[in-house]
Structure 1
């Protein structure tokens, strides 16, 4: 009963947060586009952050921007995207525009001196990713902060999960993410090629980045990618199944479906390690001098995308003893240890960082984004190299699927 109460309370507060008193000089955010994701990704998290105010919003349709501002309690409406960027009172810009517009407006925002929180996928392809994240402006004195919003990586549950993963020992991993078939209309931007649509662009931004973190590297190649075309535009994938080869011989898989049946809802990650020799004292046993202990670890992270709602991390360790150096597989003794853990705050993983059980992945992300902007340490971060690697993974999959890469902006030469 107590756990059910905790779940209900946690989720109520996640979606109905109380507003924190604001600091004397908070960071003032502007939102480019009246996007559906912005309330969950920024507006709600900002309510509980004392150093953040969502000041203004701009949309292509001024009437839509005004209605959006009234609905979400945003103080101002900018007349255009550029008007927002030209506003000297705005410190940070959140960009949840269609993928195909990310590169242009992120670059414009950086050149205007704004810190940028950029929705994922950061850009349309690796050419754009390298042009954006390696832009000289990011290495200039007092450079603005640029962050791709891979929000799941900021939650304590991800930190807890990775504490059981040894990237160099991973033999295989699989990341899956599905969206119910009723979620997006047939002509949604996710099915429009010129706007950077495609399941790999949307869901693959999660699964591909998760695989690079689990393996600690970008894949060497995508060996196979099977897709199903969207009915609106055959250049856009509605479903994908990709298989990668990673350095050292590890194999990674990822699956995503924008029109999945209701029985395939949980976004999960599965990891298996190679057999490794461990100290017998580590597992609390004594073995003869001519024997060694070997461990094979399997991990399942259920609901890695929105762990605040619910999640579990199951660790199954299979042990065996064998003669030292015996690779034949002959076991003298076998046993297993299993446990399931959860982490809603960093205190639960013995890390001294702020957090509440009701904080969503987006709230934890905002905490670190503000830390970075303020010049404080950000212990969880998604760097430019991470974003470039994610773009590489997605491009590899499109090449393997024999689908065109999403179109490259004409502005990659920096002519803004």
Structure 2
């Protein structure tokens, strides 16, 4: 019962956290688009950050923007995206627009000297990523910050998970996310091909990003890819279901699987599974003609939604062998299970509460960078964001569905 009470308490508080007094010189955020992700990704995390104020919102539909602002307590409604990014009272522009609009408005915000928190995936394709993240605007003195919001990367659960794997010994990793039918409608913006839609651009981007981090390398090729489109009126080039196999250096294989159309009985929280090759481990208790081999498997349940629920299972299989003929002498398995909700859970002295979502941890580091503080050092670099889009393009090219188009061509 105690575990169930903790589960409900954590998830209730995550969505209803205590508000804190704001500093006299807060960082003021403006929001482009009245997106559904806004509350989870920024508004709720901002309540518990003394240096963050949600100042303004701009949307194409002014009536929608007003309803959105009233609902979320945003004091200023601006009548255009241009007005928001030009507003001198705004320090940061949060962009949660459809994927195809990310490049144009991120670049425009940077040109106006605004820091940018950019929803993932950062842009529509690798060409846009190169232009955006290598923009001279990011290299001049006093340049604004640009961060792709790969939020899971900032949660201490991910840091613990990464501590359980050995990149040098990885042979296989998989990422699976199954969304029940009906949650994503065929009319959803995720299915708008012209705006860089598709399941790989949404849930699949988590899998590709995770594999790249797990192997600590970029995929050399996409060996296999199968995609299924959604039903009309969505574009036939927008995938609703995918499986893909990626080749990484040294023969390692990474697989991703995802769908928007699984049945409710088959629904599971997103998970990652990694397998290591057998490695020799030292053991003073062994005889002179014996060797001990460990093969590790790590499973991460709840990737992407670690606050709701997470568990990392580390399973080590040991085998004592005869050195001469490698004949097995003894074999056994040791298992360890751990859930992580704050850095304190992994004995790291960094800010965090048991109810903080990954978005709140991300906001902490984003503000630290703006303020010039060292923070915990976790970040997503521009080069990482470029590499991510190259990997996404690789998968789409293999699928036959094609790389997502630029909505408005970049100006060179």
Q: Is the partner of 1:364 in helix, strand or coil?
A: helix
Q: How many Å apart are 1:30 and its aligned residue?
A: 0.3
Q: Give the root-mean-square deviation of aligned CA atoms.
A: 1.3
Q: Is the partner of 1:259 in helix, strand or coil?
A: strand
For 1:136-285, what aligned pairs fall within 5 Å after superposition?
Answer: 136-231=136-231, 232-262=234-264, 263-280=266-283
CA contact (8 A) 1:27 1:51 kept: yes
Q: How many Å apart are 1:375 and its aligned residue?
A: 1.1
Q: Is the partner of 2:190 in helix, strand or coil?
A: helix
The aligned residue for residue 392 of structure 1 is 390
TM-score norm. by structure 2 comes to 0.96
The aligned residue for residue 316 of structure 1 is 315
- Distance (Å, rounded) in 2 between the aligned partners of 1:265 and 1:138: 40
CA contact (8 A) 1:62 1:79 kept: yes
Distance 1:293 1:246, change over 3 A: same
Cα deviation, 1:214-272, whole Å, max 9, x if unaligned, reads 00011000000001012221111110000011001100000111222212231000000
Cα deviation, 1:141-199, whole Å, max 9, x if unaligned, reads 11211111111111111111010011121100000112221112211111110011101
CA contact (8 A) 2:180 2:263 kept: yes
Q: How many Å apart are 1:391 and its aligned residue?
A: 1.1
Cα deviation, 1:193-213, whole Å, max 9, x if unaligned, reads 001110111111101000000
CA contact (8 A) 1:209 1:386 kept: no
The aligned residue for residue 338 of structure 1 is 335
User: What runs of 5+ residues in structure 2 fail to find an aligned partner?
Assistant: none
- Distance (Å, rounded) in 1 between the aligned partners of 2:327 and 2:114: 61
CA contact (8 A) 1:229 1:236 kept: yes
- Distance (Å, rounded) in 2 between the aligned partners of 1:382 and 1:370: 14
Q: Does residue 364 in structure 1 map to residue 367 in structure 2?
A: no
User: What runs of 5+ residues in structure 1 fail to find an aligned partner?
Assistant: none
For 1:91-130, what aligned pairs fall within 5 Å after superposition?
Answer: 91-130=91-130
Q: How many residues align?
A: 408
Q: Is the partner of 2:237 in helix, strand or coil?
A: coil
Q: Does residue 374 in structure 1 map to residue 371 in structure 2?
A: yes
CA contact (8 A) 2:195 2:407 kept: no
Q: How many Å apart are 1:329 and its aligned residue?
A: 5.3
Cα deviation, 1:124-156, whole Å, max 9, x if unaligned, reads 111111111111221221121111111111111
